[in-house]
Structure 1
Amino acid sequence: MAAERKPTFFQSLAAGGLAGTAVDLLFFPIDTVKTRLQSAQGFVKAGGFRGIYKGVGSVVVGSAPGAAAFFSTYEAMKHSIPLHGQLAPVNHMLSAPGRKTSMYGASTSSFKAATLVLQHDGIRGFYRGFWTTIMREIPFTSLQFPLYEFLKHRLSIYLDRKPLYAHEAAVCGSIAGGTAAALTTPLDVLKTRVMLDLRDPSKQQVPSLPARFRQIYVQEGAKVLFAGIVPRTMWISAGGAVFLGVYEWAVHGFMST
């Protein structure tokens, strides 16, 4: 099997930017529907299917640099951490920092949402749900990328070829993303509830994350912790195929020029 070339920092940076923009533009409506399904006020009151592209401007602005930073960091760490063979999954877990874009609500424009955040919470409002996002993204990427690399490795052995074509890597990315998405849905529900909670912590008591999690489980049932699992799994499974497929296509294109 031929040795696989490693992309440079700038090749990973550019390919990651393309991948992030592509996946967020294509799958933004599914994430909007998922967020509204998880809202405590209910899907219809949260906006239903109306304006499912509202807020896309803020996502596009953040998607390219976010994905670019992610892949350039991931590739650099993946090839520098001295863990290989049976310890390779640990290498991939350590190399994969979280990379997702979060919305403040899902039924208003980016500018109007930003105005509401400033009015209600000030600058700190833009960081609402930060820790729950981190809490969700670490388990998510710790599952997604080791599984993605494992599937690519097994497929390369089966095909006796490296590197994989973009569509082959996309299939691996789809399976890995969908699996990680389904398993981390309860953490995503918790993140959504925190971000959509407009109570002012300085004026009234806001429950801690464990208390909020228990409250959802006791008052609404375990089923609610998996609200939105179908669109979330669909979105990230399909998004994983596009995200990682476009990245592999772009980075191999840059490396061949």
Structure 2
Amino acid sequence: MCHLYGAGGTAGMSVDLILFPLDTIKTRLQSPQGFSKSGGFRGIYAGVPSTAVGSFPNAAAFFVTYETVKRLLRPASSPYLSPLTHMAAASLGEVVACLIRVPSEVIKQRAQVSPSSSTYQMLASTLRQEGVRGLYRGYKSTVLREIPFSLVQFPLWEFLKDLWSWKQSRPLDSWQSAVCGAFAGGFAAAVTTPLDVAKTRIMLAKVGSTTANGNVLLALSDVWRTNGITGLFAGIVPRMTAISLGGFIFLGAYDKVRSLLM
């Protein structure tokens, strides 16, 4: 189990820190304040301490859960049910990982759209105004974003790896696993962008507003009403770019580190 924790955590931290500027741009494009008022291209590393602290345990928690559930379900399932096994494992992995990810994400996103405030100031302000519950604002919307994302990404990643391995009649190299991860991640990012927009709006909403209550459908309808289809897919280019590159680094590094540690 330790090798899974190390592999997942190392891969996750590498991705989050390398691609942080793209994440900042995506968040500001989705912000209700608009890109320029949220900081534009200034201070694109605002909020990075929150990511640095939460990234390793978040990714490690996901992969420990993912691999454990896969191992428990696989003996009882036929090869034809393999995609369902991957979906169930990924979904449970996200539920567990979000317990760590959401507080980190809340502070990170608030710092990203207020680059003049430090991460510590955002944490103190959130705790003062909303208490610990404020750190988990958007938990439901994050899970509702991550589960569909994982239901697309991980079965597609596993399928592409199996297909490529079958075509060449040998196990994949780490770079080949990374290519499969890039394609799977980019596709999953594109189709789940509206859910990401809703999650961002909920986390950034003013205390006491209707959006802050965490209703995903209400947040989506508000975006649709004010910004239309372009609002629902705000930030899709940096999101797809970041997650495609992230899928390449994250899943490639995970396979590589796991093979070394095993």
Q: TM-score, normalised by structure 2?
A: 0.88
Among 25, 36, 40, which residue is 1:33 paired with? 25
SS at match of 2:202: helix
Report the structure, 1 or 2, having the larger helix content: 2
Deviation at 1:118, TM superposition (A): 1.8
Query: Which protein is bigger by CA-based radius of gyration?
Result: 1
Partner residue in 2 for 1:10: 2
Among 14, 26, 40, which residue is 1:22 paired with? 14
Return the alpha-carbon distance in structure 2 between the equivalents of residues 205 and 33 of structure 1.
22
Q: Could you report, residue by residue, the CA deviation over 1:197-234 in whole angstroms, capped at 9, with x for unpaired residues?
A: 013259x9958332222121122211110000000000
Runs of at least 4 residues off by over 4 Å = 204-207
Check conservation: 1:83, 1:90, Cα contact below 8 A.
no
Return the alpha-carbon distance in structure 2 between the equivalents of residues 119 and 248 of structure 1.
42
Q: Relative to 1, partners in 2 of residues 1:115 and 1:23: Cα closer, same or farther, differing over 3 Å?
A: same
Among 127, 143, 149, which residue is 2:136 paired with? 127
Q: Is 1:42 matched with 2:5?
A: no
Question: Which stretches in structure 1 are left out of the alignment for 5+ residues?
Answer: 1-8
Among 248, 251, 257, which residue is 1:241 paired with? 248
Return the alpha-carbon distance in structure 2 between the equivalents of residues 16 and 201 of structure 1.
37
Segment drifting more, 11-20 vs 222-231: 11-20
Matches within 5 A, 1:142-157: 142-157=151-166
Check conservation: 1:104, 1:113, Cα contact below 8 A.
no
Segment drifting more, 84-93 vs 147-156: 84-93
Q: TM-score, normalised by structure 1?
A: 0.90
Q: Could you report, residue by residue, the CA deviation over 1:150-195 in whole angstroms, capped at 9, with x for unpaired residues?
A: 0000010011112x21111000000010000000000000000001
Partner residue in 2 for 1:3: none
- RMSD over aligned Cα atoms: 1.8
Among 177, 199, 217, which residue is 2:185 paired with? 177
Return the alpha-carbon distance in structure 2 between the equivalents of residues 183 and 14 of structure 1.
30
Among 37, 53, 67, which residue is 1:61 paired with? 53
SS at match of 1:221: helix
Q: Is 1:209 matched with 2:216?
A: yes
Check conservation: 1:54, 1:110, Cα contact below 8 A.
yes
Partner residue in 2 for 1:110: 119
Give, as a single letter, the amino acid of the residue that structure 2 aligns with 1:93: M
Return the alpha-carbon distance in structure 2 between the equivalents of residues 231 and 219 of structure 1.
22
Q: Relative to 1, partners in 2 of residues 1:246 and 1:36: Cα closer, same or farther, differing over 3 Å?
A: same
Segment drifting more, 77-86 vs 89-98: 77-86
Identity of aligned residues (%): 47
Size of the alignment, in residue pairs?
A: 245
Check conservation: 1:84, 1:91, Cα contact below 8 A.
no
Give, as a single letter, the amino acid of the residue that structure 2 aligns with 1:210: L
